[in-house]
Amino acid sequence: VISGCRCLTSAASSESARGHLHDQTVVVNALRKDQVLRGVTVAHIDENGHGVVGIHVRKDKQSFEFAFARTLPGERLNLIVEHARHDKYKKKEPGKYRLLLEERGAASLDEVTPRCAHFSEKCGGCAFQHFRYEAQVQAKHSLLCQRMEEYRLDRGGPEVPLPEPSPSAFGFHGRTEFRFFLRDGIRMGLHPVGNPVPISISQCHLHPEASHRAFQAVLDSVRAEARATAFDERTGRGWLCSAIFKASPHAVVKVSADDVSKIPEMEVLVTLVTIPGAPQEVLVRVAESVMSRCKDVVGVTWSDEGGEPASRLAGWRSLGREPQKLLAGRGHLTQHVLGVSLEAAPEAFSRPNQLLADAVASKVVEFSKAGPEDIVWDTFCGQGSLSLPLLLARGCRQLVAFDRSEPAILSLRRNTALHNLEAKVQVVQEDLGSPAFLRALAARLPEPLERLPGRRREFHRKEDKEDSEDEDDDDVEDSGARHRGKGQLVAGSSLPASMPRPDVLLADPGRNGLPKAFRRYIFDLQVPRLVYIGSGKAFLRDITLLVRRGYELQEVASFDSHPHNARLEVVASLQWNGVPEELEWEERMQRNREREQEQNHLAE
């Protein structure tokens, strides 16, 4: 059982802090400083994996939610009000409160003993390893349904089935990264949340056993090399930053020791990350030692983080990474997705859960409903782990693949040649977040894009601004210049004279979701079928905006790609219906008033 921690969480009068009435909501007349609330039940989890309690304050006529780390649904907490600020000037604004976790009461029925010894150190790898896995899946499904309801995606939309669980709750991670640091010699570890000092890790149960053997081989090899030294960001000394372990399953599958789940044999590719100016001869010796110590390692590459050596001052940190160099072995992994053998570059994206890669790809093929005469666009294609199995399974007429990563594009070209698909695949290395490239792409379509009818009202512009607050700067500015090759100086220069319009569009963007420019491009493109793979609030934001602009949400499937964390990987199928949803401002405000009146009535 995890010992209680003193967790500080505040809830202000913002939209994110407001909650809804449910069975576990505690109703109080008012909240005052030093007031103690005993036996408050944790209702659900949030996106960070924290337990959430709901309190309805009659004085404010408002429900609030407070999150506490490492608390589980069903657990009872004793809370104390540390800060309470009420509206003194009668402006009818809700109060602002801060609650502290004073004491843990009755434990959750789903609490179990965590497997990892580092979980109690809060290494940052897991949010709730002490949560029974079957209950994790249920809690994450409830969170997804709740968020879809808040984004109004449940009205007339499809039902959300239970997530497909991971075949194993451990040993699933396809990519793990550990930081080098000095503490009684060179060590490897993780950064806890909010703590700049790493925690030394002896074993991480999230990555497979092959990655752990490679982890130990790297640590032993670095310690055996006298000239190897870890980089310290505070002083600027040293040059060895981190080690990345990417694992990919073989085609042969064995049964794990617990005889419950099937865990495949893995091959591992190791990447040593350094600052500029690291001695290559030392890295070569380390790489050869790693290859000799661990037979699971198929290759070792070197990633120079970028920046000039003169910039290695105290607090220096790189802004991007240079292409990786091969130190020993081969510089790629071999993946098997739906029986299709693919080459994966170390820089390219891979699915977070290698045990669910086939399930996700199979669902994408099913949702696409692609036929022999369809043209498929694969945006953010990577090495083609989704689109090439789709092309081989459905025999589509043509595939157009977009990505800005040069290593991923090179892997995609080799994969298309491996399966004799060069005649059907057209590859475009460009940045889909660049408005200049999107304008060039639109100019090459056989028909001009149709703008949505009607003048954009003020509240539409406000919604777009609010929905883009969590996007990276790369999504707004033209970031393709620093990702294109040296010969590509003009956006769209790699495009042919004409481009076919897509019948099916696959979108598998990063964690920040679709770039704003490309999202607006999809509004105007009006693709008959769209398959979106994403997670978190960025996924909900993009799907909501697509539905408002004329797409209809048809099907949703989710996968528990991140056991012991709150994140789900979701695959959504959308269809263009040509009817943009135009909600008047007064109607939306009326809905909010009716919801608040209903909550107040239930509380009374």
Q: How far, in Å, CA of 380 to CA of 402, rounded?
A: 6
Q: Are 238 and 282 in contact (CB under 8 A)?
A: no
Distance CA 60, CA 94 (A): 5
Beta strands in 354-397 (DSSP E): 375-379
Bridge partners of 176, per DSSP, are 245
Question: Backbone phi, then psi, for 526, in 5-degree steps?
Answer: 55, 60
* Residue 258 annotated as binding site: no
CB-CB neighbours of 93 under 10 Å = 12
Q: Is 523 annotated as a binding residue?
A: no
- Token pair of 256, please? 């794990």
- CB hemisphere CA count around 177 (13 angstroms): 11
Distance CA 127, CA 565 (A): 5
Dihedral pair phi/psi, residue 405, rounded to 5°: -85, 120
Decide: 563 and 169 in contact? Cβ < 8 Å: yes
Collect all residues with Cβ–Cβ distance below 8 Å to 42 and sequence separation of at least 6. 24, 51, 52, 53, 68, 71, 72, 73, 74, 75, 76, 77, 108
Query: What is residue 556's three-state secondary structure?
Result: strand
User: Has 508 been labeled as part of a binding site?
Assistant: yes
Buried b (16+ CB within 10 A) or exposed e, 128-160: bbbbbbebbbebbbebbeebbeebbbbeebbeb
Number of other CB atoms surrounding residue 236 within 10 Å: 14
Rounded Cα–Cα distance for residues 428 and 514 (Å): 18
Binding-site annotation: residue ranges: 380, 403, 508
Binding-site annotation: residue ranges for S-adenosyl-L-methionine: 380, 403, 508
